[in-house]
Structure 1
């Protein structure tokens, strides 16, 4: 099924040579192409449903968390996942098979986002605020590991001539789902803007990472070269520019 759809989408495109990945990996390009699209779609949907500027901010306000903690949510969620990549890079490159690091990261994101929903239902004030902030920090670390690993997996499993198209399909499909989810949240929030509504959204969002982890685990990855050297200054800035 994957091969038929893959060849249909790339019909007439003769640039499908696998001159930048191994011959073994080339045999599984159609399968890996769609599995990475599907996993990315689910993570994008989860990001939207747990948006720090809307859903998480509303939850923090509902549990009466201190304002200064609410102001930390967005930078921790959006920027906090970048700097740790510097420290994860060397660890990832020491593993010949790396997809499981992405899976672990996705499972941690599933747990941390789900924990936010549980915290919102059971705690209030200062305690709830700090617990949610702690969950967001752990989420950002897990997201950092998955983000960096995904770049590496794409480089090992998808030819350069296909990567841009794969990203385009991911953005298109996830865009439709994100728009639908956004419209639903906008409409429903006017009718039922309760804690149960928002925590249900959070729990559903957490489940998207669980589904994405399962999908990603089905990717066929072959062992690659490992790098046992310490992280150099050049590599440090390369990671920051990823």
Structure 2
């Protein structure tokens, strides 16, 4: 359990104080937070709640979406929120194609330029920016960075302590180059997230993540690969699925821990 972290999205409808209490009761050492529920509860209140409970904030989701008009202001705000929460990593979902555009190369160049703008601010705040590649089916509307290799092409332009990458099992498991890219990533791995892939995908493909062990991903193989690459940090269980969210939070946390112990470590 030393590396286990519950990503807040896995228990979406569990109120934050209950999530924190549940993690403490279960011996969970870390929690990944999301900006929206943190804002709802209050940034300062959340920081105090988590700190007083003795939980480590492993990541804050999310920054990015560099096609938005206010992307710079919003990302600077996200960096400051991460610093306030004590989150060492701000996860970046970089955004899809600009409206009406088909220029994917230009969109990727825009991501690199945006991160170059944000990197000094993140460094000053003690927050590491982590580029998360998303499965190619999300390229048009959510993230033009679709492979770990593409994420590294950008991250390698910066100090690894300032810009890293996220290895999210859901998004990278299919890629026949992923294990070579994990080796390449090395110290740039800023976060490792696990869940499982199930078929058929639900109508809302974003909600197609399953608890570890309920799908077809070789989770332990990925964990062993990031370990060999030198990553020793937290392992977040991050699941988006309506059926999971409909269950009581305590049950989901217990099932997350069980799947993690059986399938990941």
Q: TM-score scaled by structure 2?
A: 0.22
Structure with the greater alpha carbon radius of gyration? 1
Q: TM-score scaled by structure 1?
A: 0.23
The structure that is helix-richer by fraction is 1
The structure that is strand-richer by fraction is 2
Higher RCO, 1 or 2 (CA under 8 Å, sep at least 6)? Answer: 1
